[in-house]
Amino acid sequence: EGIATLTDEIKALKAGIKALDKSVAEATEQRKAENAEYKELMSSNTAAKELILFAKNRLQKFYQPKLYKAPPKTELSAGDRVYENMGGEITTQAPGGIAGTGIQAFVQVASRSGREAPPPPPETAAAYTKKSEESGGVMEMMGLLVADLDKEMTVAETEEKEAQEDYETMMKMSAEKRAQDAKSLTDKEASKAELQASLE
């Protein structure tokens, strides 16, 4: 009777350890997926923010030239200056990214199959005049978009941090439980072996 009870307890412990290992593996996969989603969100939001700020700066060049920030001028090293002064020609790398802005990627893909060409733009009635008062709305809207992106990124960072802490806590607790169950399993197997040896 004691052997049968120990055998049942050993089976239950083995099943518990197996279930625990399975839940740990599932939690790890879920955490990896959440982390990949977080990284993708941060990357796309950062690219969108850079693009909006670049566009806002370009609009300021037109609407509010005093607020426009020109791109930094490249400084030549001492060796390059000597080379250039001696008649050499320095080739500079074209800035990468979208339209030479340095912004790496903000891609949205759509299929054009089955679409007709858009109609020509309508005729304008009068010559273009600068409207600086209306620029404020556009600039404010861009500012709101950037603020929304910042807020979304802050929330995502907080959620990612909390999810990582929860995962680490769960892993620690699972490791402790597994160690306890493994010790208990070893003890029960030893007790069963002793009981069987005493019956022989």
Q: pLDDT for 55-111, tens place per residue?
A: 888 888 887 788 888 777 667 777 777 777 777 776 666 556 655 566 665 555 555
92 and 74 Cβ atoms separated by less than 8 Å: yes
Q: What is d(CA 123, CA 74) in angstroms, rounded to the nearest whole number?
A: 43
pLDDT recorded at residue 126: 61
Tell me: the pLDDT tens digits for 118-160? 677 677 666 655 555 555 788 889 999 999 999 999 999 999 9
pLDDT over 70, % of the chain: 76
Q: The whole model's pTM is what?
A: 0.62
- pLDDT band for position 117 (50/70/90)? low
What is the average pLDDT value for the chain, to the nearest integer? 82
The pLDDT assigned to 74 comes to 66
CB 16 within 8 A of CB 183: no
Gap between the Cα atoms of 48 and 145, Å rounded: 9
pLDDT of residue 180: 94
